[in-house]
Amino acid sequence: MFRRAQILTLVSATVLAACTSKPGDSPDSASVAIPATGAVDTSMTTVSAADAALPVTIGMLDPNQASADQLVPLGVGRPAADALIAGRPYKSMTAVDRVLAKTLNEKQRDSVYTRLWVPIDLNTASGEEILLIPGIGPRMRHEFEEYRPYKSMDQFRREMGKYVDKQEVARLERYVIIR
């Protein structure tokens, strides 16, 4: 049993190291230290400097900071990525959407917005902004607006949990903030 745990730990560490490295990185740029106990200690994980510097907002790329090389793999395309970068800074997702709508259809933008997002304030976001959250329709937009003002994320979780399951609430939470 102990040997099986060591093998699983080694495989997990190898996958983690492979996922955190980029083509052209030296073999040392993404490595995982495995303690003698066989458990992976994430405090000992080494990530390449490029990965550590990724602009992330609530687990997503920030359109105000992402490079063209980060945007293109999301399905944006080089011309739209360049246009997005040229239009910075963006205070709202509606501004980002106006740029991407010139080259991407709604379904394509929904796909991009699962990885690229400027968080919207639950208390001030327009209905148009709320509808940009992938999978949100008029009914859920109404629910977002109905419970304003939000005082905490716990309140948001509790109110949205009346309409969708916990997994969906967690997904929605990635798109919003309370200021």
Q: Which two tokens stand for residue 49?
A: 């400097």
Q: Distance of CA 140 to CAs 15, 56, 111, 123, 172, Å?
A: 38, 26, 19, 15, 11
The CATH architecture one would assign to domain 120-177 is Orthogonal Bundle (1.10)
Give 23-38 pLDDT, tens digit per residue: 444 333 333 333 333 3
- Integer Cα distance of 36 and 28 in angstroms: 20
Contact at 8 Å (CB) between 87 and 99?
yes
pTM confidence score: 0.67
Q: Residue 58: which pLDDT band, with cuts at 50, 70 and 90?
A: low
The upper half-sphere exposure of residue 175, i.e. CA atoms within 13 Å in the direction of its Cβ, equals 23
Supply the mean pLDDT for the chain.
Answer: 77
For the chain, the structural domain boundaries read 2-52, 56-112, 120-177
